[in-house]
Structure 1
Amino acid sequence: MNLEGKKIYLASGWFNENQERRLKKAEEVLREMGFEVFSPREHQFLEYSYNSQPWRDVVFENDVDNVHKADFIFAIYDETDSGTMFEIGLAYALGKPIFIFHEAEEYCNLMISESLNAYFKSWDQVKHYDWKTCPVIRYEGTVE
């Protein structure tokens, strides 16, 4: 599978140990598969004071710009994060294929379940998915 040059925007929170663990695993797996991965965690513009208006401006614009540039959006849906939800909505509005990784929780929001192209519960599913044809894998569980 040649995914070289395909850009993935990796949407996820990283604000606790579980989120950070999942995000680092996603960065590793997707890069090993050959994707060019944009992970906002790696682009925090440390030259600006965290949470200052200049920092907010540049981080927001950079993240939005990279959603626009991405071929795919891959979102980690466990322990939902409002920024991730915004990025999924933006991707949907732009017509970007959306892939959801949802390892732990047992339900999914209706707006997420109906916007996605494929729903994954394990890294094995991600690794064996046909990224060339991107078949639809619907979420089959309970929606909220």
Structure 2
Amino acid sequence: MTSKTIYLASPYGFSAQCKRLLIPEFVEALAHLGLTVWEPFERNADLDTSKPGWAYRVAQQCMQDVRDADGVFAIVNGTPPDEGVMVEVGAAYALNKPVFLFRDDFRRCTDSDQYPLNLMLFAGLPESDWQEMVYDSMDSIKNRDRSLAQWAQLG
């Protein structure tokens, strides 16, 4: 059986420190479940940002990766979370891709008593037990009893 691919939607690649320290930890946790991780900053690392049109090419490549991946794991920290990550989540929902959210940010940014973020971020998750699709630590990502691990193992 070939491993499923998961697109890691994250704002962390814009900071050298976060790119060096945080992204590898997420990639390792997801790979621990047998997933092939598509990390967009790595996948676009060879792009020459001094040439005109580079930003368009990055955006197109990221959208193609969302289309081609089996699912999306989105880091949704911040108030509000990163706009690019939100576009990638919306695209994944429109494509009926499974989306798993990560938030270890204790701040709330919502008008809802039910959800910690804008309610539209939960539109593609199950109505009941949506919490099963939301992760808050590396241990929760690696937990083989959670929905991400179960999905990773499905044929």
- Per the alignment, residue 43 of structure 1 pairs with 43
For normalisation by structure 2, the TM-score amounts to: 0.73
Contact 2:70–2:97 under 8 Å retained in 1: yes
Partner amino acid, structure 2, of 1:127: K
Within 5 Å, give how 1:1-144 maps onto structure 2.
4-14=2-12, 15-16=14-15, 19-20=18-19, 21-50=21-50, 52-53=52-53, 55-79=54-78, 80-107=81-108, 108-116=117-125, 118-128=133-143, 129-130=146-147, 131-132=149-150
SS of corresponding position for 2:150: coil
Judged with a 3 Å threshold, the aligned counterparts in structure 2 of structure 1 residues 64 and 133 are, in CA distance, closer, same or farther, namely closer
User: Which deviations, in whole Å up to 9, do the C-alpha atoms of 1:20-63 show, x marking residues without a partner?
Assistant: 3433211111112211110111022534225731x123212211
- Per the alignment, residue 130 of structure 2 pairs with none
Following superposition, the deviation at residue 67 of structure 1 comes to: 0.4
Q: Any unmatched runs of 5+ in structure 2?
A: 109-116, 127-132
Following superposition, the deviation at residue 19 of structure 1 comes to: 4.7
User: Whose strand proportion is higher, 1 or 2?
Assistant: 1
Matched residues, percent identical? Answer: 31
Following superposition, the deviation at residue 127 of structure 1 comes to: 1.3
Structure 1 runs (4+) deviating above 4 angstroms are none
**Which has the higher mean CA deviation after the structures are superposed, 33-42 or 110-119?**
110-119
**Which has the higher mean CA deviation after the structures are superposed, 60-69 or 111-120?**
111-120
For normalisation by structure 1, the TM-score amounts to: 0.78
CA distance in 2, matches of 1:101, 1:50: 33
Aligned length in residues: 131
Contact 2:73–2:102 under 8 Å retained in 1: yes
User: Which deviations, in whole Å up to 9, do the C-alpha atoms of 1:100-119 show, x marking residues without a partner?
Assistant: 00012332121113333611
**Which has the higher mean CA deviation after the structures are superposed, 121-130 or 29-38?**
121-130
Q: Any unmatched runs of 5+ in structure 1?
A: 135-144
